[in-house]
Amino acid sequence: MVSTLRLLRPSLTGLRAVATPRRYVSSFGYAQAKALIYSDYGQPSDVLKLHAHSISPAYGSDIVVRFLAAPINPADINQIEGVYPPKPEMTIKLGTPTPVAVPGNEGLVEVVAVGADVESFRPGDRAIMKHAAFGTWRTHAVASDENLLKIPEQFRDLGVVSAATVSVNPCTAYRMLKDFVPLERGDWFVQNGGNSGVGRAAIQLSRLWGLKSISIVRNRPEIDELKQELEALGADLVVTERELADRAFRKETKRLTGGKGIKLGLNCVGGKATTEMIHHMAQGGQVVTYGAMAKQPVTLSASSLIFRDMHLHGFWVSRWSDANPEAKRQMVEEILGMIQRGELKDVPVEKTVWTSATKEDELKAAIAKSGQGFGGKKQVFVFEE
């Protein structure tokens, strides 16, 4: 039998071994990893467990990465509940007796080691996830070229949170403002969830592009402070759902837009709040739904369809990204440039530092905070060795 390992003759550099497949063994050896996992769908507090396992050195086309930061998004919670596609793969590769999945769709990693067949990444490179459902709530993972979108070296000085949160909220806002209505400088759009991650990104992008925005938020005790915060980002008008429902405000909408009306509406709420937003839009308006915070359907009257020619669309940035990988790369780099120049600010965040000593309850507490009403800050895991 001929061995797959061939020992070549000595040279000036000593003996050289060639194997098929080849193996790159880094000085890091086996990585001791931890991950939040679940084997059944349900509430995160009930189904998530902290699991320790080992990752072998990179082999062939493997890329071993360590996570630097990973946000907790509403979609991540919905995925654990089993109501959000795509569902991650259940696997026993983490050394569990039954198949499990790792939650988390968004994150920033640093390459620890690469297999000998990998040409596009080297240890020290940084990357974000190219697709959803990779599983980012863990300290280390084995990836491949297909999983990772490299962050150019010129953006290495950006904070880890900025890079880890670039691919969902800012990209969603970017595409919705660009792809549904040919907006020109001075045109208006309206959005609910104005203080959300997407809402804040839309406000700032519209300011850069010369657009005007009406941002709707829920009423709350600190409403004046929130309005001032969003106006400082560039919001032209911030109103509560209650203020929007006042019939007199429809005249104000016409006055603000110079009679042109509002052609684009961005919806992440649903239910009555979205119906009311549509009442303020112009004939032929386009409503783009990208979320459902109220967990209620979007209702549109027959008269709005027939006589006002309203159009409803859905948008899912994960599907768009999968279909347009090169455009996704260009968009991410453009947005990272905006962040680097100070033109686009992060959402307010609260960090939970994840080290080898962090307990399961600490991680679950951060996840629970992410679902609290009027929380005000995005929860982010920040990994430290």
- Catalytic residue positions? 84
Residue showing tokens 């994960």? 318
- Strand partners for 69: 108, 382
Cα–Cα distance, 327 to 224 (Å, whole number)? 39
Burial class (CB in 10 A: 0-12, 13-18, 19+), 18: exposed
Which among 266, 88, 270 has a CA at the least distance from the CA of 169? Answer: 266
- Strand partners for 287: 265, 312
Amino acid (one-letter) located at 305: L
Residue showing tokens 């072998």? 56
Cα–Cα distance, 62 to 77 (Å, whole number)? 29
CA 346 to chain centre: 12
Any idea what the Cα angle at residue 16 is, between residues 10 and 22, rounded to 5°?
160
